[in-house]
Structure 1
């Protein structure tokens, strides 16, 4: 499905990002993985025969440096970008009136500004490929308004809105931009989530039970193909029917 296409995945060291990378590798993509966790990122890249580049999505200079390194590695072209990198742990379980301002700003800096800057930095490379695709990983928490998780919910709502606007701005260059919105997945990054919230999802899905991260990979892979341009601007809630778009 993705043979001959070079894809950059951020936040790819572990969890959902690593599973996305494994799935894209199975579909034949040439992968460049990026993460702030260098040791784990290199281990995942070595496992998949992929390239690894460090990045701090909270640092604009680091994002610019990543794009320059990707340009050097890919001959100035990039076929796909998966904006998966985000802060998701250690920021939930408290009310909106208990969130520290520094914590709020950090989530927005990485999840929102980082997604924008990463897309901006990659855009020239995506244009050069002639069939660039961007997949933003949002969250269905922004669709049903999950409580006691406001900074994360707000950041993922912003990612959904940015997806639609970017689709219109990049569409003339035949660059497709879409978003996926998973629910709670069974990964290390969701171990902190209260059992009651896991049970809410498991019992409330149209297809009951837990959802594994590898179950959403094929959808992401399709959105990165040349044939997925018709889905630009769309949000796909890949959550086994917990909420519907």
Structure 2
């Protein structure tokens, strides 16, 4: 790794939903860029495998249990991760659930709506609050919220998820104004449909719609989103806040 690629050298970063998919790609890229990374996830076994693999590669990572649906778990995860890191310079709110797909608004159950909102919206809010004292102390804190391009174009039959990711966009902008005085930037990244474990349930026809209507006509991979995350966590973005980066190959041009 050359010095020019160490954009996050010395940074202490917490990434949720880090055991697989986009989260694991973010951890790998951020650690390779020089950061020390706390990996948080509810998937205990997958998390331990991922941590061991990255540590074997010489990257500075550790794993922490997290259930975003449980406020006590959020507080405990943040506390333990920050203690291990010795402070906190950046938070990537990536963890989410997507299991409301394939249902119309009328078919969507109340329990499913509540679960998606509790994890994706309330959980992101709680994790952010748990990390704010350490981010303020850093003096150069960065928060990166993972939204989705689905609220930008109104994806059908996915209402709870789309509504939750739309809420993340509003939360990002409001927090950016609240926290600017603390020198904390808050930005959102809105990926398109990405080839990860969490999207295996998505019908092939939906994948094809994305493929055919992107300006860059190919499948989207987790690695395609990593540059935006590194930018948002680095000093390159210190005057960039309250913004939404739609990383989707030009399917939606925000």
- Identify the TM-score tier after normalising by the shorter chain: over 0.9
Q: CA RMSD in A?
A: 0.8
Native 8 Å contact 2:177 2:242 kept in 1: yes
- Deviation of 1:227 after TM superposition, in Å, equals 2.7
1:98 is aligned to 107
Give the deviation of 1:171 after TM superposition. Answer: 0.6
CA-CA distance at 1:74 after TM superposition: 2.3
Give how far 1:72 is off: 1.6
**What is the deviation of 1:102?**
0.3
Number of residue pairs matched by the alignment: 243
Q: How far apart in 2 are the matches of 1:70 and 1:124?
A: 13
Give the whole-Å Cα distance in 1 for the aligned partners of 2:50 and 2:176: 30
Distance in 2 (CA, whole Å) between partners of 1:181 and 1:102 is 26
SS of 2:13's equivalent in the other structure is: strand
Give the TM-score normalised by the residue count of structure 2.
Answer: 0.94
> Secondary structure, in 3 states, of the residue corresponding to 2:160?
helix
CA distance in 2, matches of 1:74, 1:211: 32
Q: Which structure 2 residues correspond to residues 189-208 of structure 1 after superposition, within 5 A?
A: 189-208=198-217
Q: How far, CA to CA, are the matches of 1:148 and 1:53 in structure 2?
A: 33
Aligned to 1:138: 147
What displacement does 1:61 show?
Answer: 0.6
Q: Which moved more, 1:39-48 or 1:26-35?
A: 39-48
Name which of structure 1's ranges 142-151 and 60-69 shifts more when overlaid on structure 2.
Answer: 60-69
Partner of 2:178: 169
| Within-5 A mapping of 1:62-141 | 62-75=73-86, 77-88=87-98, 90-141=99-150
Whole-Å separation in 2 of the counterparts to 1:26 and 1:72? 22
> Where has structure 1 moved over 4 Å in runs of 4 or more?
none
2:188 counterpart residue number: 179
Structure 2, unmatched stretches of 5+, are 1-6, 56-60
Alpha-carbon contact 2:12-2:35 (below 8 Å) kept: yes
Consecutive unaligned residues of structure 1, counting only runs of 5 or more, are none
Q: Indicate if the aligned counterparts of 2:93 and 2:143 stay in contact, CA closer than 8 A.
A: yes
User: Counterpart of 1:52?
Assistant: 63
Give TM-score, length-normalised by structure 1. Answer: 0.97
Inter-partner Cα distance in structure 1 for 2:160 and 2:247:
21
1:222-233 matches, within 5 Å, as 222-233=231-242
Distance across 2 between alignment mates of 1:48 and 1:25: 9
Equivalents in 2 of 1:133, 1:185: separation in Å? 24
Q: Take 1:43 and 1:29, find their aligned partners in 2: how far apart are those partners?
A: 20
Query: What residue number does 1:5 align with?
Result: 11
User: What is the CA deviation profile of residues 6-63 of structure 1, one whole-angstrom value per residue up to 9, with x for unaligned ones?
Assistant: 1100000111111111111221110100000111112111222211100100111111
CA distance, structure 2, for counterparts of residue 229 and residue 151 of structure 1: 33
Distance 2:106 2:238 in 1: 41
**Residue in 1 that maps onto 2:3:** none
2:221 to 212, 216, 233: 212
